[in-house]
Amino acid sequence: MVEHRVDWLDPVFVALSIMGSWSGVWLGIALALTLAWRRPNVFLVVATTALTTQLLTTLLKYAVGRDRPPTVVLDPEPLLDVPTTSSFPSGHSSSSFACAFVLSRFAPRLTVPLFVLAALIAYSRVYVGVHYPLDVVAGALFGLLVATALLRLLGALRQSPPRTPGG
């Protein structure tokens, strides 16, 4: 895939990759919605999702230990600095799809643009040369799994009866 790069698209995919770092774009979208709607829970749920997904993805990366493409295929060179963590699964993909999923539950009208952005960020990791396609697919699926589990947990916590003192 990286052998078919288009020069004028290089900065676009580099920017998308940077936007997905540390879930920055997703936290920004959540903050904008929180302020617009005056609902702090939007930001809190998205931030919790981003943090949990990043933590679980990092644990999975250490368990798998897959080398990144530039350590195996030396040409062409990656467009970004190569992270030192394992390649599988893609953290950008997992957090992007997890956050897009959660945000789409708060803002259903934004579902398509949110998932398009998540897919572009995921693809950018292959385009810039720091992930294999399977890394981003696995990351996307893992992110959706984590987000689904978190939303179910949140729903269960909301429905559970409040604890009474001494009981």
Single out the residue of 49, 28, 29, 50 nearest to residue 107, CA to CA. 29
Q: Where are the alpha helices (DSSP H) in 38-162?
A: 40-64, 69-72, 91-106, 111-127, 133-159
The answer to whether 49 and 55 have CB atoms below 8 angstroms apart is no
List the chain residues with pLDDT less than 50. none
In CATH, what is the architecture of 2-155? Orthogonal Bundle (1.10)
Say which residues have a Cβ less than 8 Å from residue 129's Cβ, sequence separation at least 6.
Answer: 2, 69, 70, 76, 77, 78, 79, 80
Contact 48, 150 (CB under 8 A): yes
pLDDT computed for residue 74 by the predictor:
63
- CA torsion through residues 128, 131, 133, 139, sign: negative
Looking at residue 133, its pLDDT comes to 95
